[in-house]
Structure 1
Amino acid sequence: MTTTHSPTGTVGGSGGTERDAARRAAERGRTRRRLYQWLFVAPALLYMLGFFGFPLVNNVVMSFQQYTPTTYFTGEAPFTGLDNWRAVLGDSLFTDAVWQTLLFTAGSLLGQFTIGLGLAVFFSRRFRLSGPIRAVLLLPWLVPMVVSAVVWRRIMDQDHGVLNSFLSVFGMDAVPWLASPSVALLSAVLVNIWIGIPFNMVILYGGLQEIPRELYEAASLDGAGPWRAFRSVTLPMLRPVITVVLVLGFMSTIKVLDLILALTGGGPADSTQTLGTLTYQLSFLQLDFGQGAVVGNVLILISAVFAVLYLRVNRADLGKGK
């Protein structure tokens, strides 16, 4: 009795072998693509590790050491544990600097964004000379911050400043803009608002140009007035741009140093001392680099928390969009 082999079984075995080979080839292709992707990203990763990662790790380590100018000659930086952290976090000046940093950042962002958005909406309606006027409004953004601070320091001078001279025309008393602890921080916020308005205006103006005009026409046909159209069309469509503006504004404002140093130097009576200026004072005036590193790490941590929250919100928005 002879045995015959089923053609179907042979074909099935051959098909299975071909599928396995195709699967292995696909896996090799995916592995190769991942390898190419990492090779393209590798230069940027190496750059970030070298120029951002190493200083960051070194700053964290320094906050646990007694790091002084002598260290640069002897190379000795004794490990002090949490002594630097206790000294900084237990100092009332640090607490004041945290609150003043938050007030300075929140006030600056609110003023810059509100005025910048208003100007962006205003210039989105084309009229004669809108281009030249927008170009003039960009000047505060183009001038170096130290130069702006020095100019405003002269303008806000209590005795000879232009601002008080202008107020005297209306019979108002001179305001100690930079000499009073109760007014100096507000003055710094106003100057920073003036500097940041052009950036907000330009970015938001670009976002407004991307909103389809048809949406406003449809809202008008539905009986929506200007304010209703702004709330129902402009703000929702502008939300991604608003997020970017606020995040970038936060990152640049919370670490402001040169503006306050040139404007008030952290005074009077430490009323404009922020985390940035406190880091500078501890590290380069008192030459206590360990405690300066502690304040710097706190500043980095605050920025990192804000960045993580931004990424989570952005990811949630993308998920809703899908």
Structure 2
Amino acid sequence: MSTALTPAPAAAPVPAPRPGPPARGGGRRTALLRWLFVAPALVYMAAFFGYPLVRNALMSFQRYTPTTYFTGEAPFTGLDNWRAVLTDPLFTDALWHTAVFTAGSLLGQFTLGLALAVFFSRRFRLSGFVRAVLLLPWLVPMVVAAVVWRRILDQEHGVLNGLLQTLGPTDGGVPWLSSPSVALLSAVLVNIWIGIPFNMVILYGGLQEIPRELYEAASLDGAGRWRTFRDVTLPMLRPVITVVLVLGFMSTVKILDLILALTSGGPADATQTLGTVTYQMSFLRLDFGQGAVVGNVLILISAVFAVLYLRANRTDFGHGK
């Protein structure tokens, strides 16, 4: 007669003990170490960014000239500098020129840069070499590029006018840099030529990060090239587009060296921008207080777009809304 063996019931799992709160001394030590690691960057930011910003803001409320600079007694003038600058026709014209120059430059740089990025995203022979050649405008210093283009756009001896006269579209040379109605457009075209490589490189990198599976799925759904570009490429490229446009804006709105080397703000102040007006008021008129006002306006404009960039960047990468 056999007896059946019944298995013993399994033991209940023992819950793992919960970690207790960290020791108060260890938490303080960790926080102190974090601040020590961040301290060099904070000191650098305060010394090279914070102090100049505060000093420039204070200077805009003082009558700051070479005399008061060396004596160390710049009288407080309240809003006189701001009132004088904001009612100056030179400032209002420069504000409009800056808006036109920035909008035209960003539109041209982004459009052509995106077109080239899409073009080079398809492999073909010598694509790497051609792409490297197109980077040359970005590697040339701004002043050098402006001087070269000043020679190219010269009305009498410029290469461009010589080419136009050879082809026959014009009888005389076009006053690219000497006509108030054409000079600002010429400056925009030169800045577009300089900024295309930056847009192309960043957008090309963004295109390489788009999964190929999305294009295959769009092809299976019967989507054409334009629909694929509109419904797949642009939405996936949105964070990169935001970065390109905001960084391009912040570097273009304060541009100075290109305008000074190309037209010096002329003719008849037709290419004066906020950057050149700051230079003119500070180093030609020697009124540093009014120059600081224009500088503060530039800082405020850049700060607004920096905040917009941070909000858009946070939303695009899914860190909140």
* TM-score of the alignment, normalized to the shorter chain, above 0.5: yes
Residue 28 of structure 1 deviates from its aligned partner by 5.2
Question: Is the 8 Å Cα contact of residues 242 and 312 (structure 2) preserved in structure 1?
Answer: no
1:112 corresponds to 2:117: no
In the alignment, which residue of structure 1 is the partner of 2:269? 270
With structure 1 as the length reference, what TM-score do the two structures score?
0.90
Q: CA deviation at 1:164?
A: 0.9
Corresponding residue number in structure 2 for 1:223 = 222
Query: d(CA) in 2 for partners of 1:69 and 1:285?
Result: 12
Q: Hey, what does 2:164 align to over in structure 1? A: 167
Q: Partner letter of residue 176 of structure 1? A: P
- Given that 2:184 and 2:271 are in contact with CA atoms closer than 8 Å, whether structure 1 keeps it comes out as yes
Matched, 1:84 2:81: yes
In the TM superposition, what whole-angstrom CA distance separates every residue of 1:100-129 from its partner, at most 9, and x where no partner exists?
101101110110010001001101101001
SS of 1:94 mapped into structure 2: helix
After the TM superposition, which of the residue ranges 310-319 and 54-63 deviates more from structure 2?
310-319
Once the two structures are superposed, the pairs formed by residues 237-276 of structure 1 within 5 Å of their partners are: 237-276=236-275
Give the match for residue 139 of structure 2. 142
Q: Could you say what secondary structure the match of 2:241 adopts?
A: helix
Cα shift at 1:259: 0.2
Given candidates 126, 149, 155, the residue that maps to 1:152 is 149
The CA distance in 2 between the partners of 1:181 and 1:316, in whole Å, is: 43
In the alignment, what sits opposite 1:214?
213
Report how far residue 236 of structure 1 moved.
1.1
Q: What is residue 73 of structure 1 aligned with on the other side?
A: 70
Give the corresponding residue for 1:101: 98
* Worse-matched range after superposition: 288-297 or 171-180: 171-180
Partners of 1:138 and 1:314 lie apart in 2 by 26
Superimposed CA distance per residue, residues 237-267 of structure 1 (whole angstroms, 9 cap, x where no aligned partner): 1111111111111111111100000000001
| Alpha-carbon distance between aligned partners in 2 of 1:114 and 1:321, rounded to the nearest angstrom | 29
| Cα distance in structure 1, aligned partners of 2:161 and 2:155 | 7
Distance 1:95 1:278 in 2: 10
Cα drift, residue 275 of structure 1: 0.3
Q: 1:271 to 1:316 in 2, by over 3 A?
A: same
Counterparts of 1:103 and 1:286 in 2: how far apart (Å)? 26
How many angstroms apart in 1 are the aligned matches of 2:198 and 2:210?
19
The alpha-carbon deviation at position 42 of structure 1 amounts to 1.4
- The one-letter code sitting in structure 1 at the alignment partner of 2:297 is V
Question: Alpha-carbon deviations, 1:210-259, whole Å to 9, x = none?
Answer: 11111111110000111111111111111111111111111111111000
Distance 1:269 1:245 in 2: 33
1:22 counterpart = 2:20 = yes
Write the distance in 2 (CA, Å) between the matches of 1:318 and 1:195: 29
- The 5 Å alignment of 1:290-309 reads 290-309=289-308
Aligned-partner Cα distance in 2 for 1:234–1:259: 34
- SS of structure 2 residue aligned to 1:246: helix
Where 1:70 maps in the other structure, the secondary structure is: helix
Q: What do residues 283-306 of structure 1 show as CA deviations (whole Å, max 9, x unaligned)?
A: 001100000000000000000011
- How far 1:311 sits from its partner (Å)? 1.3
Matched, 1:129 2:138: no
Partner of 2:55: 58
Q: Which structure features the higher share of helix residues?
A: 1
In structure 2, the gaps of 5 or more residues are 1-16
1:52-78, CA deviations, whole angstroms, 9 ceiling, x for partnerless residues?
000000000000111111123211211
Q: Measure how far apart 1:175 and its partner are.
A: 1.3
Once the 2 structures are TM-superposed, how far is the Cα of residue 320 of structure 1 from its aligned partner?
A: 7.2
Matched residue, 1:202:
201
| AA at the equivalent of 1:232 | D
Q: Check 1:230–1:278 CA distance in 2 against 1; reply closer, same or farther (3 A cut).
A: same
- In the alignment, the residues of structure 2 paired with residue 254 and residue 32 of structure 1 have an alpha-carbon distance, to the nearest angstrom, of 45
Name the amino acid aligned to 1:69. Answer: P
**Which residue identity lines up with residue 283 of structure 1 in the other structure?**
S
Give the letter for the 1:67 counterpart. Y
Partner amino acid for 1:224? A
SS in 1 for 2:237: helix
Partner of 1:42: 39
Measured after TM superposition, the shift of residue 90 of structure 1 is: 0.7
